[in-house]
Each structure stands twice: as C-alpha cells, then as structure tokens.
Amino acid sequence: MRRVEAALFLARQPLTPRKIAQICGFESAAEVRGYLRRLGKLYDEVGAAFCLVEVAGGFQLRTRPEFYPWVARLARDERQIRLSPPAMETLAIIAYRQPVLRAEIESIRGVQCGEILRQLMDRGLVKIVGRSEELGRPYLYGTTETFLEVFGLRGLDELPHAEYRNSAVRRASSPGTSENAPLTGEGRI
C-alpha cells in the first residue's frame, strides 16, 4: 500500500490502477484498486489534509478544498490557466458538443474562432479528434485529459446537466450576446 501511496505522491498526472501496478510491481490492477480504496478510506478517517480523487480516468492525491487558500499561495502561477470569456464560451461548446467542427462552433458563437481554437490547443485543453466526412474533410475538435484534470472531472458525463448545456449554447448563439459576456465566473480555470 505504501508503494501505491509513494507513486501517487510523486505523480503529476492521474495514474490508472494498471499504470500503478506496472510501476510498483503488483500483479493486477484489481489488487491496486483494493489499495486505493484502503488509502482513500484511511485519509478520510485520519482527517488528512489531502484526499484521493478519481479524475480523468485515473487517481491522484489532491489537497482537500478547505486548505486551498493556503496551498494556493504555493502554486499560484504553476497551474493557473486564465481564459477570456470568448475562450470559455468556445471551450464550453466543444465540451458539450464534441466532436464538433470549427464551422459549428463559429455558427453558434457568430464569430470566427480560429485563434481561440489555437490558444485552447496550445494550452492542452482541446485537440483534433478526427476528420469529418463532409466536403474538404474538416477537423473535428474535442477536449483532452488535461481539460478533465483542470476541471476535476472523471469524465465528460460529469459536466453539468443538459438543461444548463442547452441554455449555455442558446445564450452563446443568441443574436444579442456580447462577445465579452462570460459563460462562467471570471474566466479562470
């Protein structure tokens, strides 16, 4: 169990049980899952400052939310990604409608989004996931594992419910929508 804990402690990205088994020399991912359950339970029982979370298809040690104000000072610039409201809008459209064509995104937003797509790809939040069968075989865009990690999601099924999705897309595509109207909060992830 301590080998699993050590691997999780040093990992920068979530680790799958299979990867942990390979790293730590265990025979199966099932054995690792048992250790993960025990570790998670132990951290909860002793009130540790960190917890074990399942995110982006793997497991990761994270600081508990109540300690965020203090540890945020240490990691202030390390993982902070700031996005403009148009970039957040574009990211939301991609997250909810993926795989999606650039033309579809532009149709919903009502403006060109080539530069925003490039920025989202540079930051590792969006990637090309294939090509459409349409004329010219344009690229299809989708979100990445980094997107899931940054937003603390295990998978896309953890995105807010369909009512919110539909209203966000309607709002983004309504004629009176300002280019600078934020989709969420302050445009920070």
* 89-137 pLDDT per residue, tens: 999 999 999 999 999 999 999 999 999 999 999 999 999 999 999 999 9
pLDDT band at 189 (very low <50, low <70, confident <90, very high): very low
Cα separation, 149 vs 110, in Å, equals: 29
Spatial separation of the C-alpha atoms in residues 18 and 155, rounded to whole Å: 18
**Averaged pLDDT score across all residues of the chain:** 84
Question: In this model, does residue 173 exceed pLDDT 60?
Answer: no
Per the CB < 8 A criterion, the answer to whether 30 and 16 are in contact is no
CB 72 within 8 A of CB 169: no
Tell me which of 42-51, 73-82, 138-147, 171-180 is least confident: 171-180
What's residue 86's pLDDT? 95
Confidence label for 150 from pLDDT (cuts 50, 70 and 90): confident
For residue 74, give Cα distances in angstroms to 41, 52, 78, 113. Answer: 27, 20, 8, 34
Q: Where are the domains of the chain?
A: 2-74, 85-173
Residue percentage of the chain with pLDDT more than 90: 63
The yes/no answer on whether domain 2-74 falls in CATH 1.10.10.10 is: yes
- Please tell me the distance from the alpha carbon of residue 53 to that of residue 45, in angstroms, as a whole number: 15
- 72's tokens: 């945020």
Domains 2-74 and 85-173 equal at CATH topology level: yes
Q: Enter the tokens of residue 57.
A: 């298809």
Expressed in percent and rounded to 5, the helix, strand and coil fractions of the chain are: 50, 15, 35
Question: Looking at residue 57, what is its pLDDT?
Answer: 87
Q: What is the pLDDT of residue 151?
A: 86
Model confidence at 184, pLDDT cuts 50, 70, 90, reads very low
Q: What is the pLDDT of residue 70?
A: 80
- Helices marked H in 25-182: 29-46, 68-74, 85-97, 102-109, 114-122, 145-151, 162-173
* Model confidence pLDDT, tens digit, residues 27-41: 999 999 999 999 999
Q: With a cut of 60, say whether residue 62 has pLDDT above it.
A: yes
Compute the distance between CA of residue 188 and CA of residue 109 in angstroms, rounded to an integer.
20
What phi and psi values does residue 181 have, to the nearest 5 degrees? Answer: -70, 120
Four-way CATH pick for 85-173: 3.40.50.720, 3.40.710.10, 3.10.180.10, 1.10.10.10: 1.10.10.10
In 3D, which of 154, 170, 140 has the Cα closest to residue 53?
A: 154
